[in-house]
Amino acid sequence: MAILCDKNTKLLVQGMGRMGQFHARLSIDYGTQVVAGVAPGKGGQTIDGIPIFDTVRQAVSVTGANASVIFVPPAGASDAVLEAADAGLDLAVCITEGIPTLDMLRAKNGLRGSAMRLIGPNCPGVVTPEQCRIGIMPAQITRPGPVGVVSRSGTLTYEAVDQLSRLGIGQSTCVGIGGDPIIGSTFTDVLALFEADAETRAVVMIGEIGGAAEEAAAAFVAKHMSKPVVAFIAGQNAPPGKRMGHAGAIIAGGKGRASDKIAALEAAGVTVARSPADIGETLAQRVPDLVA
Partner 1 sequence: MNVHEYQAKALLRAFGVPVPRGELACTPAEAEQAARALGGGLVAVKAQVHAGGRGKAGGIKLAKSASEAKTTASEILGMTLRTAQTGAQGKVVRKVYVEAGSDIAREFYLGIVVDRASEKLAIIASTEGGVAIEEVAERSPEKIISVHVDPNLGLQPYQVRRVGFGLGLNVELLAQLQAFLAPLYRLFVEKDASLAEINPLVSTQDGELLALDAKLNFDDNALFRHPDVEALHDPDEEDPRELEAKKIDLSYVGLDGDIGCMVNGAGLAMATLDMIQLCGGAPANFLDAGGGADKEKVEAAFKLILRDPNVKAILVNIFGGIVRCDLIAEGVLAAAEELGLGVPLVVRLQGTNSREGREILAASGLDITPAQTLAEAAEKAVAAARAG
**Which residues participate in catalysis according to the annotation?**
246
Radius of gyration (C-alpha) of the chain in whole angstroms: 18
277 is a site residue for partner 1 (CB under 8 A): yes
Question: How, if at all, do strands 144-151 and 171-176 pair?
Answer: parallel
Q: Which residues pair with 135 in a beta bridge?
A: 125
| H/E stretch holding 153 | none
Under rule CB under 8 A, how many of the chain's residues touch partner 1? 61
State which of residues 30, 158, 187, 220 lies at the interface with partner 1 (CB under 8 A): 158
Q: Give the C-alpha separation, 244 to 250, whole Å.
A: 6
**Min separation Cβ 182 and partner 1, Å:** 6
30 is a site residue for partner 1 (CB under 8 A): no
What are residue 135's phi and psi, to 5 degrees?
115, -140
**Min separation Cβ 141 and partner 1, Å:** 7
**Min separation Cβ 15 and partner 1, Å:** 15
Quick note: the x/- pattern for partner 1 over 42-81, rule CB under 8 A, is --------------------------------xx------
User: Is residue 178 a contact partner of residue 122, using CB atoms and an 8 Å limit?
Assistant: yes
List Cα–Cα distances, 292 to 100, 143, 167, 264, 285, in angstroms.
Answer: 43, 10, 9, 31, 14
User: Would you say 63 or 186 has its CB closer to partner 1?
Assistant: 186
State which of residues 4, 50, 99, 147 lies at the interface with partner 1 (CB under 8 A): 99
User: Is residue 67 a contact partner of residue 12, using CB atoms and an 8 Å limit?
Assistant: yes
213 is a site residue for partner 1 (CB under 8 A): yes
User: Is residue 134 a contact partner of residue 125, using CB atoms and an 8 Å limit?
Assistant: yes
Per DSSP, the residues of 109-130 read HHTTT---EEE-SS--EEEETT
Q: Read off the DSSP letter of residue 20.
A: H
105 is a site residue for partner 1 (CB under 8 A): yes
Segment contacting partner 1 (CB under 8 A): 4-12, 40-48, 97-105, 187-195?
Answer: 97-105
In the complex, the residues that contact partner 1 under the rule CB under 8 A are: 74-75, 98-103, 105-106, 108-110, 124, 136-138, 140-141, 151-159, 162, 179, 181-182, 206, 208-209, 211-213, 216, 232, 234-239, 241-249, 253-254, 274-277
